[in-house]
Amino acid sequence: MRVLITGSNGLLGQKLVRQLTKNDIDFLATSQGENRNTNCPANRYETLDICDSIQIEKILDTYRPTHIIHTAAITNVDFCELNPEACDQVNHKAVRLLFEAGIKRKVHFQLLSTDFVFDGQKGDYKENDTVNPLSLYAASKVNAEQVLMSSNYKNWSIVRTIIVYGTAENLSRSNLIYWAKEALESGKPLSIVDDQFRAPTWADDLAWGCIRICSLDKVGVYHLSGPKTFSIYEIVMKVGAFFGLDVSPVKRSTSDGIQQPAKRPPRTGFDLSKSTRELGYAPQTLEETFSKL
C-alpha cells in the first residue's frame, strides 16, 4: 500500500502521517506551502495545489500511489458561506480533479466529508440516510460526494466525521476542545449554544479508521465519529470539569442568539454500527482523550 495524503499539515493529516510511519506503510504527504509537521520527513513531503490539474498529474505519475486519502478542504463554515466560489473550487471542483486523475491510475480514492451534509432534524445518522445540506460548506461536500457516487468507477470510500479534535503542530485553525480550554482559562464571559448537538471525534481514532478502510480495501460510505453526542454547551462544561476550570462565566445561548453567516444542523451524531462491524472501529470517549491533550 502506497498512500498519498492531501492536507497533511492539518490535524488529521498529521495523525495519518504518524500512524502510517508507525506501521511502516509507505506514504507521501502533501499540502499547499511548506511542510509544517516536524514528524514528517522532508523526503516524504511535496507541495501540492489541489486545484492545479498539472501538479496533480505530475505528483501521481511520480509517486504512483495505490490509495489517496483526501483530507484537504476549506472547513470554516462561515468563510465558505461568505466566499462561495473559493468554497466550491476547493471542496468540490478539486475533488473532481483528484478523483479523475486517480481513476486513470486505478487508485483507491478516499474523501473526507462531514455530518453537515445532513439537516440535523433526526440525529444518529446512518450512512444511507438522505442528505440535505443547510449551508454552502455542506452543499460543497454533498457535491463532492456526488462526484464519487455518480461515477462508474467504484474503488472509492467516503468518510464522514464530526468536530475533529486533538494535538498537532503549527495548525492554521484551532479545534473546539482546545478553544474551550483556552477560553475558560481566560476567564472571559462565554456564550455557548445549547441547541446544537455533536459527537466530537478524537483525531487519532479518525486516522485509524481512514487507514483501516484502505488496508481492508473497503468501499462505500463510512461514519467515523466520537461515541456520544452532546450539546456544544455540554462539551464546554465537560472540558471545564476535567481541567478544574471555572465555568461560571459560561452562559447558555441558542443558535438564534448568535450571529453566524452559515446555518448549522441542530442535531447530528452518527450510528456507528457499520464501522464497528466492518472495521472494528472503537472510538474513545471525551474523558478518555482529555488526559492526552
The pLDDT tens digits of the residues spanning 232-248 come to 999 999 999 999 999 99
CA distance 221 to 275: 9
The closest of 41, 54, 48 to 72, measured between CA atoms, is: 48
CB atoms within 10 A of CB 271: 15
Report pTM.
Answer: 0.97
The closest of 222, 269, 226, 274 to 123, measured between CA atoms, is: 269
CA distance 196 to 118: 13
Q: What would the pLDDT profile of 28-62 be if each residue is shown by its tens digit? A: 999 999 999 999 999 999 999 999 999 999 999 99
Instruction: Report whether pLDDT(293) > 90.
Output: no
Q: What is the DSSP string of 110-155?
A: EEEEEGGGS-SSS-SB-TTSPP---SHHHHHHHHHHHHHHTSS---
CB atoms within 10 A of CB 4: 27
In CATH, what class is 2-167+202-227+270-283? alpha beta
Cell digits for 285?
Answer: 470517549
Q: What would the pLDDT profile of 205-224 be if each residue is shown by its tens digit? A: 999 999 999 999 999 999 99
Beta-ladder partners of 113? 160
3-class DSSP assignment, residue 205: helix
